[in-house]
Amino acid sequence: MHIFISDNNNKYYLPTRVIVELISIMYKHLIVCVLWMMILSVNCTRKTYHLIKLEGDKKIHQDVVHDIEGNTVTITVGDVSMYNGKIATVNFHDFDTGYVVFKNINRQLCLLSVSPIPYATPLIYELRETNLTLNYRAKIDEDFISLEKVEEMAGGKIASFCSDYKVHFMHLTLFQNSKRNADSDNLKAPCEHNCGICFVSIPAADYESLTIGKRG
């Protein structure tokens, strides 16, 4: 097979081998263009922020990934080992189901709760630094939850997120009148979790009994 190209009175032809090579090159470029468009599309629906939560002289660094299309937010809390009682977690919000889970990787533990904030807050993430705080006290159910129950309650995304972890349900109660410090004094050495602008205080004895396997 040949393709003839006419130039005034002159005629040229392209051999089959050249035609095949040209088609191959065009096909490869097409694939690259399609993949690049897919990557750009993903990037447009997922945004990453670095948010610093200020608590007195403490600075809690958090990596926030907002999946706009998936309607989820993943928050990874940075190193907090220098702060007594603070626990670093990776937290996953599924705003379609209205649940959030706090994952403690070192303890292989997930604490599932109804999300205190029912939607993503990109305007807060964009602040980069904030002292805005919602304070909660936690009460954790003793019995662990099966993954089937987690999926039934909170959806498949959270169930997958905690697929190799022990899961307990955590009830959150908002501190009234911003009296977190006074209330916290009544808790013996509380364990503290951060998630965005939320602060969660858990009695240390309750938390330790979960992580060492005395419950469930």
Task: Look at the block and give the residue holding tokens 């997922």.
Answer: 46
At 91, list the tokens.
């937290």
Q: Is 29 helix (H, G, I), strand (E, B) or coil?
A: helix
Q: Looking at the structure, do residues 20 and 79 belong to the same domain, yes or no?
A: no
Domain presence at residue 136: yes
Instruction: List, for residues 70-119, the tens digit of each pLDDT value.
Output: 999 999 999 888 888 888 999 999 999 999 999 999 999 999 999 988 88
Per-residue pLDDT band at 180 (split at 50, 70, 90): very low
What is the number of structural domains in the chain?
2
Answer for the pair 173, 180: CB distance below 8 angstroms, yes or no.
no
Q: Looking at the structure, do residues 154 and 200 belong to the same domain, yes or no?
A: yes
- Which residues does 105 contact at the CB level (< 8 Å), separation at least 6? 89, 90
> Which residue type is seen at 125?
Y
Q: Looking at the structure, do residues 17 and 116 belong to the same domain, yes or no?
A: no
Q: Looking at the structure, do residues 165 and 133 belong to the same domain, yes or no?
A: yes
Within 10 A of 76 (CB to CB), how many other CB atoms are there?
15
At 59, list the tokens.
């600075």
Domain hosting residue 6, numbered range: 2-43
Q: Looking at the structure, do residues 131 and 80 belong to the same domain, yes or no?
A: yes
Of 19 and 157, the structure prediction assigns the larger pLDDT to 157
Phi-psi bin for 68: left (phi > 0), alpha (psi -120 to 50), beta? Answer: alpha
Domain presence at residue 170: yes
Check pLDDT > 50 for residue 186.
no
Domain presence at residue 184: no
Q: Looking at the structure, do residues 157 and 98 belong to the same domain, yes or no?
A: yes
Domain presence at residue 57: yes
> Which residue type is seen at 139?
K
Q: Looking at the structure, do residues 124 and 139 belong to the same domain, yes or no?
A: yes
Per-residue pLDDT band at 183 (split at 50, 70, 90): very low
Q: Looking at the structure, do residues 61 and 160 belong to the same domain, yes or no?
A: yes
Phi, psi of 25 (to 5 degrees): -65, -45
Q: Looking at the structure, do residues 62 and 25 belong to the same domain, yes or no?
A: no
Q: Looking at the structure, do residues 65 and 135 belong to the same domain, yes or no?
A: yes
Mean pLDDT value across the chain: 79
Domain presence at residue 190: no
Domain presence at residue 161: yes
Check pLDDT > 70 for residue 192.
yes
Rg (CA), the chain: 26
Phi-psi bin for 158: left (phi > 0), alpha (psi -120 to 50), beta? Answer: alpha
Instruction: List, for residues 12-42, the tens digit of each pLDDT value.
Output: 555 666 556 656 666 665 665 555 555 545 5
Domain presence at residue 93: yes
Sign of CA dihedral 109, 83, 85, 126: negative
At 108, list the tokens.
């292989």
Q: Looking at the structure, do residues 24 and 55 belong to the same domain, yes or no?
A: no
pLDDT reported for residue 103: 95
Out of 71-85, 140-154, 157-171, 198-212, which region has the weakest mean confidence (pLDDT)? 198-212
| 112/97 Cα distance (integer angstroms) | 12
Burial of 134 by CB count in 10 Å (0-12 exposed, 13-18 middle, 19+ buried)?
middle
In terms of residues, how long is the chain?
216
Of 203 and 124, the structure prediction assigns the larger pLDDT to 124
